[in-house]
Amino acid sequence: MEYRIGVIPGDGIGPEIVAEARSVLDCVAQVFGHQFQYEEILLGGASIDACGVPLTDEAIAQAKASDAVLMGSIGGNTTTSPWYQLPPDRRPEAGLLKIRKALNLFANVRPAYLYEELKGACPIKDELIGEGFDMVIMRELTGGLYFGERGTEEIDGILVAHDSLTYNEQEIRRVAVKGFDIARKRRKKVTSVDKANVLDSSRLWRKVVEEVAKDYPDVSYEHMLVDNCAMQLVRDPGQFDVILTENMFGDILSDEASMVTGSIGMLSSASLNDTKFGLYEPSHGSAPDIAGQDIANPIATILSAAMLLRYSFDLDREADAVETAVKQVLAEGWRTADIYSEGTKKVGCKEMGALICERIRK
């Protein structure tokens, strides 16, 4: 099959980690007989340097013309980089918010997976981790409290601030459908997280999730209150498959879930709209402190490329091959500096990419 992939190398370590993810995609194309065409797109600091703005209309058009976009990360050192002397709407991060909006990316997916070999980095006790965990957090990304009406005013000499949390049933339905679709590709269990004992928006959330669930008789589902979910994530993370939740709860729970994996260089993510299109990127930033030294961990970006294959192209076998290759390389003891421990073998960014390619070819 032939696919067009938009590629945003971005800033800092972005170009290095994206180069390795591209090599892995090339390798998948070779082994499985596909054709991937790449189109480079400027975003963030790289776009400011070349075009004076963090995102151009041309870049948006390029992204829209792609079947999916793979991104490194954007941004620089926020205290020393001249990009941060610019007004907020001209800084690198403004480009990212703008492209997410332009592409209507309303669903964010972040996997949290514990690799047996990296168990030592997990802050939870062995007896609680058990067999490990393998979950994804499906977070609504464009509604709720972060996008609601807000304001601060003085009433009778006292400052009063308010933020409003609004969801309509369509916003809930489209992200719930994404959550159940993804559960179907996994262990077929959805945990919908809300605060329905207090919030009206959560009661609507629960009602709509129940309606959507009727179309997925093969997927089991449960409701869980957000405070309980926060506890369960550190008490028994193995119980979760897909956690489906609204914007603010997802923001907090996805960081909690990432933390329990213990390694930021391993965490992939995807932002999806209501077509097969998605923007795939590592969960970490552009790590300007280690840029250009060939020591960054490319695995989060390589796993983001695997998500791209699975969710945008429905190439499950190919995605499995990438994920298995990553596991194999870790099992053989290869580590980049961020996940290195005594007794393992330290490699740079390029070598880690090359090792993963070799295992896919085998």
Instruction: Please pick, from the candidates 24, 105, 204, 264, the single residue that binds ligand NAD as defined by CB under 6 A.
Output: 264
Among 9, 111, 265, 278, binds ligand NAD (CB under 6 A): 265
Rounded to whole angstroms, the Cα distance separating 335 from 358 reads 15
195 is catalytic: yes
Q: What is the DSSP-derived secondary structure letter of residue 71?
A: E
- CB of 78 closer than 8 Å to CB of 222: no
Short-list 20, 8, 7, 16, CA closest to 45: 8
Nearer to ligand NAD, 20 or 241 (CB): 20
Min CB(77)–ligand NAD separation in Å? 7
Is 227 part of the annotated catalytic residue set? yes
Which of 84, 146, 294, 327 is an active site residue? 146
DSSP 112-139: EE--GGGGGG--S-HHHHTT--EEEEEE
207 catalytic residue (yes or no) = no
Candidate list 49, 89, 215, 255, residue with the active-site label: 255
Pick between residue 191 and residue 268 the one whose CB is nearest to ligand NAD. Answer: 268
20: contact with ligand NAD by CB under 6 A = no
Q: Is 139 in the site for ligand NAD (CB under 6 A)?
A: no
**Contact range with ligand NAD by CB under 6 A, out of 73-81, 104-112, 117-125, 158-166:** 73-81
Of residues 94 through 133, those in contact with ligand NAD by CB under 6 A are 96
The verdict on whether 274 is a catalytic residue reads: no
State both tokens at 32. Answer: 């499985």
Alpha helix stretches (DSSP H) within the chain: 14-32, 45-51, 57-64, 92-102, 126-129, 169-184, 200-213, 226-235, 247-261, 299-307, 316-331, 349-361
253 C-beta neighbours (distance < 10 Å), count:
22
Q: Are 335 and 298 in contact (CB under 8 A)?
A: no
Enter the tokens of residue 338. 């961020």
Indicate if 255 belongs to the active site: yes
Within 273-302, the residues that bind ligand NAD by CB under 6 A are 281, 284-290, 296-297, 300
φ and ψ at 317, to 5 degrees? -60, -40
Q: Does 254 bind ligand NAD (CB under 6 A)?
A: no
201 touches ligand NAD by CB under 6 A: no
Does position 181 interact with ligand NAD (CB under 6 A)? The reply is no
Interface with ligand NAD (CB under 6 A), residue total: 22
Indicate whether 74 belongs to the interface with ligand NAD (CB under 6 A).
Answer: yes
Q: Which residues contact 362 (CB under 8 A, 6 or more apart)?
A: none
Judge whether 326 and 302 are in contact, CB under 8 Å: yes
* Cα gap 37→281, rounded to integer Å: 18
Task: Determine if 338 is a binding residue for ligand NAD (CB under 6 A).
Answer: yes
Residue closer to ligand NAD (CB basis): 23 or 286: 286
305 binds ligand NAD (CB under 6 A): no
- Residues in contact with ligand NAD by CB under 6 A are 13, 73-76, 78, 93, 96, 264-265, 281, 284-290, 296-297, 300, 338
Catalytic machinery residues: 146, 195, 227, 251, 255
